[in-house]
Amino acid sequence: MNWALRRQLFYVFIVILLALLIAFLIIFPQFNKPPTCSDGIQNGNETGIDCGGSCPNACLSQVIKPAVLWERAFEVVPGRYNAVAYIVNYNKTYAAEKVSYRFRFADENNIFIASRDGVATIPPGTSFAIFEPAIGVGNSIPVYTTFEFTSTPNWIQVSQDKINQLKILFSNITLSGENTAPKLSATVTNGSLFKIPDLNVVSILYDTSGNAVSVSNTYLNELDPLQALDINFTWPQLFSTPVVKKEFLPIYDIFSVQLQ
């Protein structure tokens, strides 16, 4: 082998070596990516695909299905009803947003009357209400009301510190006009340093037996940190039985709540 051929082979070897090096630098990172919670693979300390371990999303095996304690429809005026489902989320630090649901209504013969679909946020570790107003049922009377979630919640962990700090308080609670035009007044206070947008407050009234008598809601565009606002609920019809207890359930998207 002469000197010129050896030199040519040396140059070919160098080119091949550089090509292999470049290929290694391009391909190796693709196979050596650090585990993430969105790569579609169970890796790292995950207990499922992109869930569990240090991932914010919980695996379905980690969570308890929310319990629907009761669901009811309450007449507002003839042909119009408000519906509410009273639910408990037993998952202390897991919440879910954009969960689809459906109310269904049937008459005394269990004949379908109407339905109402919606989307809700499930707050972490608490009782909450899902409220649908002014459902038209025509001349029918909804005797049976059913509620169900129609999509599987995507459970996301919320920091315990945020949960502990978020406090919505109710005071100055007064129910007047029970025999004429019922009106419930209260003061809602944001006891935290978080700004709470799109706050919907559901009020449920109970009789001496603990049965729900009626329900209503009011909406606030936002509640600033440490802010207190007066809120009111009214009913166009009298109650069927005396009211002895008032419950307020604040509804908001905990993922949209931010420190100010």
What is the domain-level CATH number for residue 195? 2.60.40.10
Answer yes or no: is 174 within a domain: yes
17 part of a folded domain = no
Contact of 88 with 67, CB cutoff 8 Å: yes
Task: Summarize the confidence of residues 214-238 as an average pLDDT.
Answer: 96
- Pair (110, 165) in one structural domain: no
97 and 110 fall within a common domain: yes
Which of 135, 158, 181 delimits the end of a domain?
158
From the list 237, 246, 169, 238, the residue with the least C-alpha distance to 204 is 246
Q: Which of 124, 118, 120 lies closest to 56, judged by CA?
A: 124
**Domain count within the chain:** 2
**144 shares its domain with 164:** no
Shared domain check, 188 and 113: no
Residue 40 lies in a domain: no
| Selection from 214, 248, 243 nearest residue 231 by Cα | 248
Phi/psi region, residue 52 (left: phi>0; alpha: psi -120 to 50; beta: rest), is left
Q: Where a domain ends, among 133, 158, 183?
A: 158
Alpha-helix runs per DSSP H in 78-124? none
pLDDT-derived band at 226, boundaries 50, 70, 90 = very high
Closest listed residue to residue 224, CA positions, set 168, 175, 145, 153: 168
Q: Where are the beta strands (DSSP E) in the chain?
A: 67-77, 80-88, 94-106, 112-122, 127-136, 144-149, 156-157, 168-176, 183-190, 194-206, 212-223, 228-234, 245-251, 258-259
* Domain match, 171 and 186 both: yes
Shared domain for 169 and 256, answered yes or no, is yes
51-82 b/e with 16+ CB inside 10 Å = b? bbeebebbbeeebeebebeebbbbbbeeeebb
186 has pLDDT over 60: yes
Confirm whether 13 is domain-assigned.
no
Q: What is the pLDDT of residue 13?
A: 60
Tell me whether residue 113 is in a domain. yes
**Does residue 28 form part of some domain?**
no
Q: How many residues does the chain have?
A: 260
| 215 and 237 both lie in a single domain | yes
Residue partners of 149: CB distance under 8 A and separation at least 6: 66, 99, 100, 101
Verify that 72 and 127 share a domain, yes or no: yes
Q: 147 and 179: one domain?
A: no
Output the pLDDT for position 20. Answer: 63
Contact 220, 231 (CB under 8 A): yes
What pTM did the predictor assign? 0.83
**Residue 21 in domain:** no
Q: Note whether 143 and 168 are same-domain residues.
A: no
pLDDT at residue 61, rounded to an integer: 85
Q: Which residues pair with 87 in a beta bridge?
A: 68, 128
What pLDDT is attached to residue 9? 57
Q: What is the residue type of 95? A: A
Q: Which of 158, 178, 205 marks a domain boundary?
A: 158
Give residue-wise pLDDT tens across range 77-129.
999 999 999 999 999 999 999 999 999 999 999 999 999 999 999 999 999 99
Q: What does the pLDDT read at residue 29?
A: 56
- Structural domain including 251 reads 159-260
> Do 88 and 149 reside in the same domain of the chain?
yes
Note whether residue 126 is domain-resident.
yes
> Distance (Å, rounded) from C-alpha 111 to C-alpha 68?
22
Q: Which ranges of 92-249 would DSSP assign to H, the alpha helix?
A: 160-165
* Residue 173 shares a structural domain with residue 152: no
